[in-house]
Amino acid sequence: MDNKGRFPDVMFGASLRPEAAALAIMLLFLVLALLFISLTAQPVQGQTYKVIYNFIGGRDGAHPQNGVTIDRGGNLYGTMVYGGATGPNCTSEGCGTVFKLKRSGSGWIFTPLYAFKGGTDGIGPAARVIFGPDGSLYGTTLQGGEGDCQYLGGAYAGCGTVFNLKPPGTACKADLCAWTETVLYRFAGGVDGGIPSYGDLVFDQAGNIYGTTISGGTGNGGTVYELKASNGGWTKNILHSFTGGADGGNPFGSLVFDRAGNLYGTTSYGGSKDLGTTFQLVPSGSGWRETVLYNFRNGNDGSFPFAGLIFDDSGNLYGSTTSGGMRGGGTVFMLAPSNGNWTLTTIHSFAGIGGPAANLLMDVAGNLYGTTVIDGVKQYGSVFKLSNSNAGWAYNSFHDFTFRSDGAYPESNLVFDTNGNLYGTASSGGAGCWYGCGVIFEITP
């Protein structure tokens, strides 16, 4: 699958490790050469799937990868790795955009908020934008800025940025006034890290920003970093540099805080079997101490976790893997703390070749929702629900993608609105351009 279907590029970037690139090639041939017959699940009754926006490439963008963020008014915000402006450091499809999808009666109005220019402002926003404590948007780009890192399209074009977007002032009278971008940090690709991950940025109670990079650091296995507001600017601290060995390597997912202020996340590689880890970072003196909570073994537990973790109210962690498990297509798992240790339980195993690549979503009843990238009846991905009961976890399919007008290969987080509707993105497929530029979808109860 090429840059028209983002699964290998997103999960196994060309600038990373040889075995990662080999795995991407293997997946490519499997997808193109084999006809898969997956385990068919009964769809949840009463659910309605609807495409609410088809991307057409060019100005509006192409390939929405990591879902959308929702505001209190039910408006959606997201990023496109491609599309928008073009420049010498971009692919032919553009340098990426940030957009807003506004509710208007029974329909939606699409508005581009910012088009990256391909220089120091950044290239390729893959992670979602999120709202910060000040109500403005924050996000990252894979490239652009400074440094010399290889990623998008195999090009060397900067090592990524952390950015902030604010709406135009009251002087703007037009409907399409661009938002103002401020770059908070430009990665150099060395000990400070390079290529920010696909996970969301997170904030602590003081308004400091935390995130991960896929590469760089003292061990060149990626980093966990903090940005502290300081004298009108931002000061960067490295909390941990991964070595790619026992401590893990290449964190693609987002971080999550517990109530005590400790951080948790995953690495997609490294660990005792080089199949990924879950980890904890605890403030210790003037620094942070990393502890590996679990090493994946490619058994029923799965392998290669690309998504981050979420907590339930009891302090259990939930996450997913893209491969492995009893059926080989990735897993959803729970990590439960017990006497200073963590015990992993596999909740569900998928039958495709690409399980969830984005964070799970939990509702107030403790049910889990997510997307798979290459799974489902047609092997173009799915939206699923795992219902929690005393009898265990029951899997139900909300939607199996077909690549046609409904989209394909969702690498998407999901969000609820106040009415219980689900929203997400499929990175390819749809009716927007001849090869399918991706869609934004709504699932109503």
Question: How confident is the model at residue 46, as a pLDDT?
Answer: 67
In Å, how far are 50, 111, 220, 253, 409 from 433, measured between CA atoms?
18, 19, 38, 29, 16
Q: Is residue 320 part of a domain?
A: yes
Rounded CA separation 89/74 (Å): 35
Q: Give the position of tokens 């400070």.
A: 192
Q: Is residue 367 part of a domain?
A: yes
pLDDT confidence bin for 315, thresholds 50/70/90? very high
173-208 confidence digits (pLDDT tens): 555 677 999 999 999 999 999 999 999 999 999 999
Q: Is residue 285 part of a domain?
A: no
154-177 confidence digits (pLDDT tens): 777 899 999 999 998 766 655 567
Per-residue pLDDT averaged across 53-64, rounded?
88
Q: Is residue 119 part of a domain?
A: no
Q: Is residue 424 part of a domain?
A: yes
Question: What contacts 103, CB < 8 A, 6 or more positions away?
Answer: 73, 74, 75
Residue type present at position 273:
K
Question: How confident is the model at residue 7, as a pLDDT?
Answer: 39
Which has the higher per-residue pLDDT, 118 or 49? 49
- Would you call 134 exposed, middle or buried from its count of C-beta atoms within 10 A (0-12, 13-18, 19+)? exposed
Rounded CA separation 378/8 (Å): 18
For residues 397 and 414, the answer to whether their CB atoms sit within 8 Å is no
Q: Is residue 365 part of a domain?
A: yes
Q: Is residue 401 part of a domain?
A: yes
Question: How confident is the model at residue 40, as a pLDDT?
Answer: 35
Q: Is residue 284 part of a domain?
A: no
122-149 confidence digits (pLDDT tens): 999 999 999 999 999 999 999 999 888 9
Per-residue pLDDT averaged across 7-34, rounded?
39
Q: What pTM value is reported for the model?
A: 0.89
Number of domains in the chain: 1
pLDDT confidence bin for 32, thresholds 50/70/90? very low
Q: Which of 37-51, 102-116, 288-302 has the highest mean pLDDT?
A: 288-302
Q: Among 8-22, 255-269, 372-386, whose mean pLDDT is lowest?
A: 8-22
Q: Among 28-37, 244-253, 350-359, whose mean pLDDT is lowest?
A: 28-37
Question: How confident is the model at residue 154, as a pLDDT?
Answer: 75
Please state the length of the chain. Answer: 445
| Containing structural domain, residue 323 | 1-67+296-445
